[in-house]
Amino acid sequence: MSLIDVREVIKHYGGIRALDGCTMAFEEGAINGLIGPNGSGKTTLFNVLTGYERPDGGAVHLQGEDITAFTPDKVFARGVGRTFQLTRVFQRLTVVENLHVAAQRTGGFRAELSRWSSGSERARAKEVLDFVGLTRLAAEVAGNLSYGQQKLLEFAAIMIAEPRVILLDEPAGGVNPTLLSHLASRIQALNAEGTTFVVVEHDMEFVMGLCHRVCVMHQGRALCAGNPEEVRADPMVLEAYLGTDMRPMEHADVEVR
Partner 1 sequence: MLVLQGIVDGILAGGLYALMGSGLTLVFGVMEVINFAQGIIVVLGAYLTYVFSTHIGVDPLVTLLITIPIMFALGYGVYALLLRPIKRDRVIMSLLVMYAVAVVIEGCLDIIFGGTLVQVHAAYSTSSIHVAGLEFSDLYLLAFGLSAVLLAVLYVILYRTKFGRSLRATTQNPTAAKLVGIDVDRVSATTLGIGVGLGAAGGMLFGMTESFNASSSYDLISRLLVIVILGGFGSVWGAMVAAIIMLVVEDVVAVVWSPVWGQTVFYLVLAAVLMFRPQGLFGRLAVRAQ
Partner 2 sequence: MAVIQATPELLSPTEIDRAFRDPYALSARTRGISWTVLLAVLVMFPLVFTNPAVTSVAVFTMFFLLATVAWNMFSGYSGYISIGHAVYYGFGQYAVALLILHLSITSGVSELALLPIAGVVAAAVAVPVGLLVLRVRRHTFIVLTIAVMFIFQLLAFNFPSITGGSAGMNVAPPTWSGNDFNLPFYYIALGTAIIALALSWGIRRSKFGLGLLAIRDDEDRAKGLGIRVTRTKLIALVISAFFVGIAGGLYAIFVGQVFPQFAFTPFYDLYLAVFSFVGGLGTLSGPVLGALVLGPLQQYFELQFGATTLYLIIYGVLFIVILLLLPRGVVPSIADRYHSLLAAHWRRAEERRSRSGPATPSAVTTGEARTESVPAVPTVREGA
The amino acid sitting at 64 is G
List the one residue from 3, 34, 45, 96 that touches partner 2 (CB under 8 A). Answer: 96
Query: Counting contacts by CB under 8 A, is residue 75 touching partner 2?
Result: yes
As a whole number of angstroms, the distance between CA 179 and CA 112 comes to 35
Q: Is 100 left (phi over 0), alpha (psi -120 to 50) or beta?
A: alpha
Instruction: Tell me the C-alpha to C-alpha distance, in Å, between residue 39 and each of 154, 199, 240.
Output: 24, 16, 11
Angle subtended at Cα 48 by Cα 219 and Cα 16, rounded to the nearest 5 degrees? 35
Query: Counting contacts by CB under 8 A, is residue 131 touching partner 2?
Result: yes
Query: Counting contacts by CB under 8 A, is residue 219 touching partner 2?
Result: no
CB of 84 to partner 1, least distance (A): 6
User: What residues numbered 107-126 form the site for partner 2, per CB under 8 A?
Assistant: 111-117, 122, 125-126
**What residue 177 binds from partner 2, partner 1, none (CB within 5 to 8 A, per partner kind)?**
none
**What residue 85 binds from partner 1, partner 2, none (CB within 5 to 8 A, per partner kind)?**
partner 1
State which H helix or E strand residue 4 sits in: strand 2-13
**What residue 251 binds from partner 1, partner 2, none (CB within 5 to 8 A, per partner kind)?**
none
As a whole number of angstroms, the distance between CA 98 and CA 92 comes to 9
Interaction mask 13-52, partner 2, x per CB under 8 A: ---------xxxx-x--xx------------------xxx
CB of 144 to partner 1, least distance (A): 15
**What residue 47 binds from partner 2, partner 1, none (CB within 5 to 8 A, per partner kind)?**
partner 1
CB of 48 to partner 1, least distance (A): 12
List the one residue from 16, 236, 246, 254 that touches partner 2 (CB under 8 A). Answer: 236
**What residue 18 binds from partner 2, partner 1, none (CB within 5 to 8 A, per partner kind)?**
none
As a whole number of angstroms, the distance between CA 26 and CA 4 comes to 5
CB of 87 to partner 1, least distance (A): 11
User: What residues numbered 154-173 form the site for partner 2, per CB under 8 A?
Assistant: 157, 161
CA proximity to 186, closest of 123, 127, 106: 127
DSSP 60-82: EEETTEE-TT--HHHHHHTTEEE
As a whole number of angstroms, the distance between CA 246 and CA 238 comes to 7
Residues forming the site for partner 1 (CB under 8 A): 43, 47, 52-53, 84-86
